[in-house]
Structure 1
Amino acid sequence: MKKVILSVALLAIIGMASCKSEPKKETTTQTEETTKQEVAVMEGTFGVRGNCGMCKNTIETAANGVDGVSQAEWDKLRKKIKVAYDASKTDIDAIHKAIAASGYDTDKVMGDESAYENLPGCCKYDHEMEMSIKGEVKETEDMH
């Protein structure tokens, strides 16, 4: 019995040694490299009228709803929005139009009147209010 076990162990060791001495077969897998198109990310800043946090939410939601817009941040105090977008999918005019469709005036496009009428009372801004305010701006108590 010892001879059988010893013989099996010897054969296993010889088999392993012979496997190690064989040159390894290299397998090549062909990987397909996909070239990503460079995305032309543009940034823009323009004026948008509004009053409060609800305005901020609606304005940013309208801008972000445009296909290609990756970021939109409305500054309540300065009455302006900063947007980042993919120029191959949209342009700044489309963003102006989307915000105006939600009821808010921009530097280029007047807000849709029926959408403006449906805004909450705190969001009914003065159509003559200054936009894209530069310099230091202080928040007053009557601002929401």
Structure 2
Amino acid sequence: MKLLKTVLFVFAMFLSANAFAQKKVETTVIKTAIYCDHCKQCESCGDRLNVGLLKTKGVQMVVLDEKAMTITVTYNTKKTDLATIKTAISKLGYDADDIKADEVAYDSLDGCCKK
């Protein structure tokens, strides 16, 4: 009987620890400024946003909508946060809501991607 209680206790601890360890995924839409109409295919900005943001720990998916001038990002909240993602976008040369693009990164964008 004592062994059964111990096994049940260990099992319950395992289940509760597993529940807390599960990742929490969120999706957010970030307003940006995109000035070309071919950003998804553009050699500099399309890959720059997708590949650059996917290198950010915790970012799982990036969808660029150049018409709405938004970047939809799905990320694991246990590995990153919204401020880190916005900073990463800024360092790629793009505005991210209230965070302005890093000037050096912005200057390295193609002319079609600038205002």
TM superposition score normalised by structure 2:
0.72
1:73 to 49, 60, 63: 63
How far is the alpha carbon of 1:97 from its aligned partner? Answer: 0.4
2:26 to 26, 35, 42: 42
2:111 to 105, 110, 121: 121
How far is the alpha carbon of 1:40 from its aligned partner? Answer: 0.6
Report what 2:72 is aligned to.
82
Distance 1:118 1:76 in 2: 19
How far is the alpha carbon of 1:74 from its aligned partner? Answer: 0.9
Greater relative contact order (Cα 8 A, min sep 6): structure 1 or 2?
Answer: 2
Deviates more, 1:57-66 or 1:75-84: 57-66
Q: Which amino acid is 1:61 matched to?
A: V
Figure out how many residues of one structure are paired with residues of the other and give that number. Answer: 94
Report what 1:108 is aligned to.
98
Report what 1:135 is aligned to.
none
Q: Which amino acid is 2:88 matched to?
A: A
2:51 to 43, 57, 61: 61
Cα-to-partner distance string for 1:105-133 (whole Å, 9 max, x where unaligned): 12121101111111112221x2xxxxxxx
Distance 1:115 1:108 in 2: 17
On the 8 A contact 1:56/1:76 being kept in 2, the answer is no
Q: Does 1:93 align with 2:71?
A: no
How far is the alpha carbon of 1:99 from its aligned partner? Answer: 0.7
TM superposition score normalised by structure 1:
0.59
Q: Structure 2: 5+ residue runs without aligned partners? A: 1-13
Deviates more, 1:59-68 or 1:82-91: 59-68
DSSP-derived class of the 1:99 partner = helix
Greater helix content: 2
Q: Structure 1: 5+ residue runs without aligned partners? A: 1-32, 127-144
